[in-house]
Amino acid sequence: MCIAGHAGNLKRHIDYSKTFAPSPNQHTMRLLQSILVANRWHRFSFDITQAYLHAELGPEDAPVVVRYPDGFKRYDKDGNETYMMLAKNAYGLPTASRNWSRDRDAFILDAFNKGEWSCNRCVMDPCLFHFKKHKGGDKYDEVIALIYTDDVDMIGGSEDMMKEIFDVCHAKWGCRKEDSDFVLGVKRTLNEDRTEVVLTMTSYIDGMVEMFKEYLPNKNKTTPFPEHTFLSKYDKSVTDEEVKRVIERGYQKLVGQLLWVARNCAPEIAAGVSQLCKVMSRPSETAWNAGMHMVSWLRSRRLHGIRFSHDGNTCPIAFSDASNKVDPYDGKAQYGFVVMINNGPVIYCSKKLNHVGLNAFHNEYMAMCETGKHVVWLRQLLGELGLTHMIHDPTVVYGDNYSALNLSVEDFVSTGNQYVYLPYHYNKELEKLRYVKFAKKASKCNLGDIFTKSVVKKVIDDLLPYLYGEQAISTALEEDVV
C-alpha cells in the first residue's frame, strides 16, 4: 500500500528520535575480494525484497497516524473522521533504515548462534558478519557476509553453507539470488580457478562519457589529472559569472560521479578528485577542464581495473606520502596513502592534512599518523575475522622522509620538531605496540606519491601497474624496490 505524506511532517524528538543506521565501510568490499582470492573461496549474493516493510517501528518512536485514502474514509457514530495507525515500518520514515537494520541484525544473530552455528557481527564494521558452522572437533566452515541494507554479499569456503544462510533469510523475509559479478555499479570478474578478481566500472564510465561528450577532448589523456595543475579557492581571478557558468554546466554532478569511481576502483584519480572538491563552491573553467581531463583519462582506461591475486602479499603493506606544496587558502598540504593486500589496493586516501605543516618532515609525520590510524582499523578487523596470520608481524608502512621515520622510533625533541602536536606522536605508540613498522622507501618507488599531487606521466607509467595489481609488489625493505 502507498500512503500520502512527507517525512518532513514528522518532527524530531516529537515523532521520532534516533535515525542512524550503519552502512559498510568503503574499504571493506575490496578487503573481501582480497580474502576471496587468497583462500580461493566461493561467493554468493542475494537481495532481501521490500526489506524495510519487515521491521517493526522503533520502541522510542511515536505512533504514526495515517488517513484513509479517498473512497475508503471512515467515520465514528458522531460523524468524526477516524484514522489508522501504522503498525510496522514504512519507506519514507526518517527511522526506517534504523528500524530495519536493528531487526535484521537481531534476527541474524539469533538464528545463527544456535547448535552448530555461530555468528559474530564485527565491531570495526557493523555491517560485516562472520559465520561459522562447526563440523566436529576444531574443524568448521566459515562465511563472511557484508550487508548493504538489503543486499547481502557473501564469500566462503562452502557453497552449501552460503545456500543455508540464504534459505533461512528467504524463509524469514523473502529473498532473491543476485549476480555476484556486480555490486553498486562495480563489476567484479572472478576467473575460473578463483585465483584472481578484477574490479572495473566500465558501464558507469561509459555513461559518464556519454553525459559529458560535448565537452570532452578528442584525444585521450596520459595522466589522471593535468600535470602541475593546482586548484584553490584562493584564486581571486575567478569571477562570479565564471562560477555560475561552470556550475550550470554540471560541475557538481561531474565531481560526484568522479568521486564514486575514485572510491571504488580508480585510486589514481583520488588526488585529482580531492582538488576538484576543494573548489566545489567556486569552480573555475580551469577546474572544469581538469574534470574533463579526468573523464578522458577514465575513457582511455575503461576496461582496466584493480586486481587482487591469490599469489600476492598476504600481509598488508602500506605506502604513505605527503606533498610539501600548501594550499594558499588555508596553508595545509595534501597527503595520501594506500594499503595493499594480495597485490591490490584495499584502502587508499587522498586528503588535505588537518593541520598546517611547517616543513616537509612535519607534513610527512602527520601523513604517517593518518596512515597508521587506518592500519590499526584494518588490523583489528582482520583480527575479528580470525585472520591472525595476516597481522602476526607489524604492518610495514613505507615513507620517504628520513626525519619523519626517525622521529617515530627515536625520542629526541629539539627546536626543529618541538612544535609537533602531541597526538601525532601516536606513531611512536604504534611502533612500541608492534602494530606498525615504519620503513624507508625511495620516492620513485613510493605508491603514496600518486595520492599527493598531479604527478607527471613518468610517475604514472612507473607506479600504476603496481597500484592496479598488474605487477606484483615486493615485501622487501629496500628503498628502490616497489
Are 367 and 443 found together in one domain?
A: yes
Question: In this predicted model, what pLDDT tens digit does every residue of 15-32 receive, in sequence order?
Answer: 888 999 999 999 999 999
- My answer on whether 156 and 226 are in the same domain is no
With a CB cutoff of 8 Å and minimum separation 6, the contacts of 425 are: none
How far, in Å, CA of 247 to CA of 464, rounded? 32
pLDDT digits over 157-186, tens only? 999 999 999 999 999 999 999 999 999 899
How much is the pLDDT for 480?
Answer: 72
How many CB atoms within 10 Å of residue 307?
A: 24
Q: Is 187 helix (H, G, I), strand (E, B) or coil?
A: strand
- Is 439 found in the same domain as 400? yes
One domain, residues 273 and 338 = no
Which grid coordinates belong to 317?
Answer: 603493506
> How would residue 411 be classed by pLDDT, with cut points 50, 70 and 90?
confident
> Does residue 166 share a domain with residue 47?
yes
Closest Cα to residue 117, out of 101, 140, 141, 133?
133
Note whether residue 29 is domain-resident: yes
Q: Are residues 176 and 213 in the same domain?
A: no
Residue 196 CA, chain-centre distance (Å), reads 21
Task: Count the domains in the chain.
Answer: 3
Question: What is the DSSP code string of 8-45?
Answer: GGSPBTTTB---------TTHHHHHHHHHHHHT-EEEE
- Report the alpha-carbon distance of residue 284 to residue 51 in Å, rounded: 43
For the chain, give the mean pLDDT.
94
Secondary structure percentages of the chain, helix, strand, coil, to 5: 35, 20, 40
Rounded CA-CA distance 84/3 in Å is: 11
Reference 429, options 390, 363, 373, 362; nearest CA is 373
Torsion of CA 76, 77, 80, 83, to 10 degrees: 0
How far is the C-alpha of 443 from the C-alpha of 71, rounded, in Å? 73
How much of the chain, in percent, has pLDDT values that exceed 90? Answer: 84
Band (pLDDT 50/70/90 cuts) for residue 383 is very high
Has residue 481 been placed in a domain? no
Q: Are 291 and 254 in contact (CB under 8 A)?
A: yes
| CB-based contact 1:49 (threshold 8 Å) | no
Q: Is residue 69 part of a domain?
A: no
Residue 462 burial by Cβ neighbours in a 10 Å radius (0-12, 13-18, 19+): middle
**For residue 317, what are the β-bridge partners?**
340, 396
Residues 6+ apart with CB under 8 A from 142: 130, 131, 132, 133, 156, 157, 161, 386
Domain boundary among 270, 300, 330: 300
Q: Are 130 and 109 in contact (CB under 8 A)?
A: no
pLDDT in tens, 240-288: 999 999 999 999 999 999 999 999 999 999 999 999 999 999 999 999 9
Give the range of the structural domain holding residue 208, as residue numbers without chain letter. Answer: 202-300
Residue 247 in domain: yes
Provide the grid cell at 404. 619523519
473 part of a folded domain? no
* CATH code (residue 403): 3.30.420.10
Instruction: Report how far residue 25's alpha carbon sits from residue 40's, in angstroms, rounded to the nearest whole number.
Output: 23
* Set of cell numbers at residue 385: 575475522
112-128 burial, b at 16+ Cβ within 10 Å, e below that, comes to beeeebbbbbbebbbbb
Residues 167 and 42 reside in one and the same domain: yes
* Co-location of 296 and 315 in the same domain: no
Within this chain, do residues 141 and 248 fall inside the same structural domain, yes or no?
Answer: no
The answer as to whether 196 is a domain residue is: no
Tens of pLDDT, residues 312-368 = 999 999 999 999 999 999 999 999 999 999 999 999 999 999 999 999 999 999 999
Q: Pick the last residue of a domain from 184, 218, 238.
A: 184
Q: Which residues fall within 8 angstroms of residue 337, CB to CB, at 6 or more apart? A: 318, 319, 320, 321, 347, 348, 349, 367, 370, 371, 374, 397, 448, 451
The helix (H) or strand (E) run that includes residue 224 is: none
pLDDT (0 to 100) of residue 225: 97
Residue 378 lies in a domain: yes
CA–CA separation, 482 and 476 (whole Å)? 8
Q: Which of 62-71, 198-207, 451-460 has the lowest mean pLDDT?
A: 62-71
The residue type at 264: N
* Chain position carrying cell 601497474: 465
Q: Write down which residue in 151, 184, 217 finishes a domain.
A: 184
Rounded CA-CA distance 256/247 in Å is: 13
Report the pLDDT averaged over residues 206-234.
Answer: 94
Handedness of CA 89, 91, 93, 98 (dihedral sign): positive
**Pair 170, 293 in one domain:** no
345 residue type, one letter: P
Q: Given pLDDT bands bounded at 50, 70 and 90, which one contains residue 469?
A: very high
- What spatial distance separates the first Cα and last Cα of the chain, rounded to whole Å? 59
For residue 287, give the nearest of 297, 300, 298, 277 by alpha carbon: 277
* 68 belongs to a structural domain: no
Note whether 347 and 338 are within 8 A (CB): yes
Q: Please check whether residues 383 and 426 belong to one and the same domain.
A: yes
> What is the Cα–Cα distance from 468 to 306, expressed in whole angstroms?
4
Q: What is the pLDDT of residue 63?
A: 83
- pLDDT category at 478 given cuts 50, 70, 90 is low
pTM, rounded to two decimals: 0.93
Do 397 and 458 belong together in one domain?
Answer: yes
Residue keyed to cell 575460473: 192
**What is residue 81's DSSP assignment?**
B
> Do 333 and 324 meet the contact criterion of CB atoms below 8 Å apart?
yes
- What does the pLDDT read at residue 477? 62
CB atoms within 10 A of CB 395: 24
